[in-house]
Structure 1
Amino acid sequence: MADIYDNRKRSEIMARVRATGTKPELIVRRVAHGLGYRFRLHRRDLPGRPDIVFSRYRKVIFVHGCFWHGHERCPKAKRPATNSAFWNGKLSRNLQRDQENAAALRRAGWRVLVVWECETIDREQLTAKISRFLDGDNGSRA
């Protein structure tokens, strides 16, 4: 099936896809802040520019879109049937880059958590996941 938009319109649509300040990212930030944690955003000096950085604890959170980062067994991560060579290559490179960035952070002594877009729907489960990650081996936040 061919694209229903011409190249110019498709380019306009794709230009609106944001890398930072997405709805899932804002939800994760609100949860972490609500748990009493303070953080920095998108530190350029760290591999992959993590979405949320807890420098004091040497922990980072990446908030991944299910489609763009290939969340396994998620209906939102279904790859397009058209132009499959392009999409398979692009999405595979995204997965490889994510793994390389996480490995580089771990080698540098950082703990890494990935929160998927679909996990932000259930606020209770999300809060528990983030709390386990951040409270894990920190002791208290004081």
Structure 2
Amino acid sequence: MSKIKGTNTSIELIVRKLLHAKGYRYRIHNKKIIGKPDLYLSKYKTAVFIHGCFWHRHKSCKLAYMPKSNVEFWKEKFEKNIERDNRVITELNKSGIKVIIIWECTVKKLGEQEFRDQFLMKFLQGISSNELLTEI
């Protein structure tokens, strides 16, 4: 698993390029912020995590399948990932930081203009609202 890329993934780069083109400015992988979010928008006090559906177990997503071999290992691995994600979200919210989670399956649809517009609208709602957690 050491060969699994955790930063600057293709889906991360797509989101960064889109948001930057729309005028959003952010820091990437800011170690000073709990959980080292993929993007941090200090102007909006918002941490953005771009989650792979497989690794972070996106509910009802076909990309979040369970491998057929070594099931116990994977089950434990995924449970720890979910626990860590929940702990980070809670800590960020307690610190007054909003969290936006962008799922891999959503990013894969961003090639369609209509879907891109919906994505940007949800993103804007997430950074503007009082909600502490937004999932896109």
Ranges in structure 1 where 5+ consecutive residues have no aligned partner: 1-13, 138-142
Aligned to 2:119: 126
Bigger Rg, which one: 1
Aligned to 1:58: 45
**For 2:73, which of 66, 79, 86 is the aligned residue?**
86
TM-score normalised to structure 1 length:
0.81
Q: Does 1:71 align with 2:58?
A: yes
Ranges in structure 2 where 5+ consecutive residues have no aligned partner: 111-115, 131-136
**For 1:33, which of 7, 20, 27 is the aligned residue?**
20
Q: Which moved more, 1:27-36 or 1:103-112?
A: 27-36
Cα displacement (A) at 1:96: 0.5
Cα displacement (A) at 1:127: 2.3
TM-score normalised to structure 2 length:
0.85
Specify which structure has the higher proportion of helix.
1
Highest RCO, 1 vs 2 (Cα 8 Å, sep ≥ 6): 1
Provide the identity percentage.
Answer: 36
